[in-house]
């Protein structure tokens, strides 16, 4: 099966939604005025991925694996399709022991909202 850049992007969004327990379409973070994708990216840059996780997952034995999944999801939702990994690359990242993954570049649809007076 051939995955398109759009389906890989969608995979990344779904991963973030599952891990956070929130929907991208209804998420709003008032302190940062961003959507779920932008919020996840900001937390990832700041090394605070734990804050993105659903609280019921944050206490599990899989925290390191979940943080890696967040990083992979952020790589999948980069703005430029050429910067996104391939699906085989995603499988490889998730199935191998890696010490660090690259930081994603600019994300698609993650611009902060101008919410003066919200």
Model confidence band, residue 118 (pLDDT cutoffs 50, 70, 90): very low
Q: Annotate the chain with DSSP letters as a single string.
A: -PPPHHHHHHHHHHHHHHHHT--TTT--BTTTTB-HHHHHHHHHHTT-GGGGS-HHHHTSTTHHHHHHHHHHHHHHTBSSGGGSPPHHHHHHHHHS--S--PPP-SBTT-PPP--TT-
- The pLDDT of residue 112 is above 50: no
- The pLDDT of residue 42 is above 70: yes
| Mean per-residue pLDDT, 49-70 | 85
Q: Model pTM?
A: 0.78
pLDDT at position 73: 93
- Sketch the domain layout of the chain as residue ranges: 5-95
CATH number of 5-95: 1.10.510.10
């Amino acid at each position: 099966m051939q995955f398109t850049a759009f389906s890989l992007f969608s995979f990344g969004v779904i991963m973030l939604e599952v891990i956070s327990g929130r929907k991208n379409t209804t998420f709003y973070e008032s302190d940062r005025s961003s959507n779920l994708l932008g919020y996840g990216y900001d937390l990832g840059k700041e090394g605070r991925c734990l804050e993105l996780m659903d609280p019921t997952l944050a206490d599990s034995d899989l925290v390191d694996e979940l943080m890696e999944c967040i990083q992979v999801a952020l790589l999948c939702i980069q703005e430029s399709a050429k910067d996104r990994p391939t699906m085989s690359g995603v499988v490889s990242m998730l199935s191998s022991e890696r010490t660090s993954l690259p930081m994603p570049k600019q994300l698609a649809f993650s611009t902060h909202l101008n919410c003066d007076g919200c």
